[in-house]
Structure 1
Amino acid sequence: MGEPSARPAPPPGRYRPAGAARLAIVCAAALGVAAVGWLVLGLLTQLALVTCSLLAAVLLTALAAPFTRRLRRIGAPAGLAAAGAVLALLALLAGIGTLVWFRTSSRLTDLAPAITVGIDRIRAWLVDGPLGLDPERVEGIRDRIVTQLFAAVPDPVSGATMAVTVVSALLLVLFIVFFLLKDGAGMWAWIVERVPARQRERIDGAGDRAWSTLSAYVLGVVAVAAVDAALIGLGLLIVGVPLWLSLTLLTFFGAFVPYFGAVLSGAAAVLVTLVTNGAADAITILIVVLVVQQIEGNLLQPLIMRRAVQLHPVVTLVAVTSGTLLFGILGAVVAVPLTAVTHHVAEYLRTHRPAALPLPEPGTAAVAG
């Protein structure tokens, strides 16, 4: 018997392993999704006012939703409950604005110079103190920080323009919040009805998981910010820092940016106290800030925030850093809730498969021919 003939080699360019083909399809799909996402982000950036207003409206809706549900439980109509929640938000924002205007408007312009004097003292210590750093490098860092600091304080013309923009955005936000609270369930039902029947239950469950995650995050971060601001503000008031109210509000809003916000607002409180009250009071405020941050990191974050978002601290840090580099302050604020919502939705979709379609009854199948 002769030797069996060898199998002919496949023509070049015709054979592709199945694994490589699947990998190529996945990569192509990922590139397509990334391209569409980049275009969408570019469009949203061009419509910055609408984008910021919509994001703020969603976060405020998540904050006001429990209040609206309580009004609905006592028999209030949907429109009245939504209007009550919007009026409550408007009263809260108006109260904060009035408090800032009458108590701190004359001193807000003094905040940047006070921090600048504190930075100059630190610069002198870094150069003339035991560290003996290079004066030119320290001076360059100091100049960049001071320039950014004074650029953040608007002049009268830009301040008036900013005020008009803020009022316009606020009206748009309140308008969106009202209809989200009033008709949000109907809007979501309309979206789910456009999904194929086999996927409706799965998509509806994913949406419910996303909203519950966002609501837990918003309520949690407001609670943490309130505790931080109350404790640090009390310390500033007891010590007698003239700008204690401005620094308290800065601490509250800084808590919405994990890690970086607390560090920057605490550093501002210490620097202003150093300039206005001296080194002894600055050390006292530094101790207060460190104690409050320990309470937040070891008590409030595990009990409130990590239970709500269920993200590892490394993931949170990377998300905040990436959001800040891409979109500035807005990216830093929305990075963590967006990451948490994406994580929970992905886990829900992974663990919940589409429902099986019902089998046709006997005798109902079409007969070919």
Structure 2
Amino acid sequence: MDEVSPEETPSQKVPPWLFRAILTGAVALGGLYVLGWLIAELKMLIVIVLVSFFLSFALEPAVNRMERLGIRRGVGTGIMFLALLAAVGLFLWAIGTVLADQIGDFADDAPGYINDIEDWLEDTFDIEVDAQGLLDEFQEGGAVANLATRLADNLINLGATVLQVLFQILTIALFTFYLVAEGPKLRRNICSLLPAERQRQVLSIWNLAIDKTGGYIYSRLILAVISFLAHWLVFWLVGAPFPVPMAMWVGLISQFVPVIGTYIAGALPVIIGLLDQPSTGLAMLIAIVVYQQVENYLLQPKVTAHTMEIHVTVAFGSVIVGSLLLGAVGAVLALPAAATIQAFLASYLERHEVVQELEDAEAAQHPEREPLGDRLRQMLDRVFTPK
């Protein structure tokens, strides 16, 4: 049998590109691992930078207006910071005073509440409750009475947490002040590294972010002021305790805490009203629910149509994504970020006319109907017109 010479056998060599592909893949995987590790380690810094950008975008329109009026940019930024600090301090002082008073009153009145509940349960459902055990918790030596002692034992940990939060707040304030006061210079420095076409794109996205974030804050502030005034009037009329702080709480929390803000804002005043008088709490609950409907269907569409209009589904989804990525901070930043992305896509994506077949199909599914007012008028005419 003739043997095949080595020169005549097919080549069994490994392709030269395979080693390069394996090396490139290994380097890419290693780079992704290092990037993920860096993001995890620097998550707090990333959150601080994102919050600082958000606050700078919100403050920059007002600073730009003051600059056009002849006020230096640094001075205008300082004025806005002082106004923001005063507003936050006033809100915290008002709510802190209410909570301190209510917690003290509740601790003093808790034995009476427990006895009333015990009597009501026994008279209504014939249920015996060991009220004395609950009362002991509020007496000297009880769990509630010893709450201050337990807090004092953890004073060192509490102080460390407070210092950490203060450091983060000061860091955010420093970054935000620089981003606002040196905003134009920062944009010039960034754009100087890019070609002309990319510079226009970066400036367009930056201005969109400022417009949408400023519009978001502006619309929320308008709605918060309207909500504060409406709830203040109603709370005062029904004789609710602390009408001004409670109205401030409802106005701010309902507007600036996404999705669940309405429920959190309404829960505190209603609970305080119920502790004062059940009828007062019920009246406050009805007022909050009615105002929320008026805001959702009348006020909010008119305000956001001129500032930041975003579909409710997109808003809800963006809040979920933001909360999953960055927690509560991401939930707050999600709406202006979604509005910026939406505006950017609307500016750069080309829209086309809808084909006639689609319009006909939609018209068949949703035929035009007379306005509700005209239909009601015709119904009344048929009822009251003599035959």
Q: CA RMSD in A?
A: 3.9
Stretches of structure 1 lacking an aligned partner (at least 5 in a row) = 1-31, 130-153, 353-369
Is 1:106 aligned with 2:106?
A: no
What residue in structure 2 maps to residue 138 of structure 1? Answer: none
The answer to whether the 8 A contact 1:59-1:218 is kept is no
What residue in structure 1 maps to residue 284 of structure 2? Answer: 285
Sequence identity, in percent?
Answer: 22
What residue in structure 1 maps to residue 231 of structure 2? Answer: 232
CA spacing shift, 1:96–1:164, aligned 2, 3 Å: farther
Deviations 1:68-122 (CA, angstroms, capped at 9, x unpaired): 2233223222222222222332333333344445x335236469989xx9xxx9x
* SS of residue in 2 equivalent to 1:309: coil
Structure 2: distance between partners of 1:201 and 1:288: 50
**How is 1:13-24 mapped onto 2 (pairs within 5 angstroms)?**
none
What residue in structure 2 maps to residue 70 of structure 1? Answer: 65
What residue in structure 2 maps to residue 9 of structure 1? Answer: none
CA spacing shift, 1:306–1:166, aligned 2, 3 Å: farther
Task: Tell me which amino acid in the other structure corresponds to 2:269.
Answer: A
Is 1:165 aligned with 2:164?
A: yes
Report the number of matched residues. Answer: 286
CA spacing shift, 1:161–1:229, aligned 2, 3 Å: farther
The answer to whether the 8 A contact 2:270-2:285 is kept is yes
**Quick check: 53-62 or 296-305, which moved more?**
53-62
Structure 2: distance between partners of 1:292 and 1:36: 50
**How is 1:207-286 mapped onto 2 (pairs within 5 angstroms)?**
207-242=206-241, 244=243, 247-251=246-250, 252-278=252-278, 280-286=279-285
* Structure of greater relative contact order (alpha carbons < 8 Å, 6+ residues apart): 1
The answer to whether the 8 A contact 2:232-2:244 is kept is yes
**How is 1:118-197 mapped onto 2 (pairs within 5 angstroms)?**
155=151, 157=155, 159-197=158-196
The answer to whether the 8 A contact 1:62-1:214 is kept is yes
The answer to whether the 8 A contact 2:253-2:262 is kept is no
For residue 44 of structure 1, report the CA deviation from its aligned partner.
5.4
Is 1:50 aligned with 2:50?
A: no
Structure 2: distance between partners of 1:271 and 1:37: 49
What residue in structure 2 maps to residue 88 of structure 1? Answer: 83
**How is 1:327-338 mapped onto 2 (pairs within 5 angstroms)?**
327-338=326-337
* SS of residue in 2 equivalent to 1:271: helix
TM-score (norm 1): 0.64
What residue in structure 2 maps to residue 309 of structure 1? Answer: 308
TM-score (norm 2): 0.62
CA spacing shift, 1:327–1:173, aligned 2, 3 Å: closer
For residue 192 of structure 1, report the CA deviation from its aligned partner.
2.1
Structure 2: distance between partners of 1:93 and 1:197: 42
What residue in structure 1 maps to residue 54 of structure 2? Answer: 59
For residue 304 of structure 1, report the CA deviation from its aligned partner.
2.0
* SS of residue in 2 equivalent to 1:311: coil
For residue 285 of structure 1, report the CA deviation from its aligned partner.
0.8
The answer to whether the 8 A contact 1:323-1:332 is kept is yes
What residue in structure 1 maps to residue 137 of structure 2? Answer: none
Structure 2: distance between partners of 1:300 and 1:339: 21
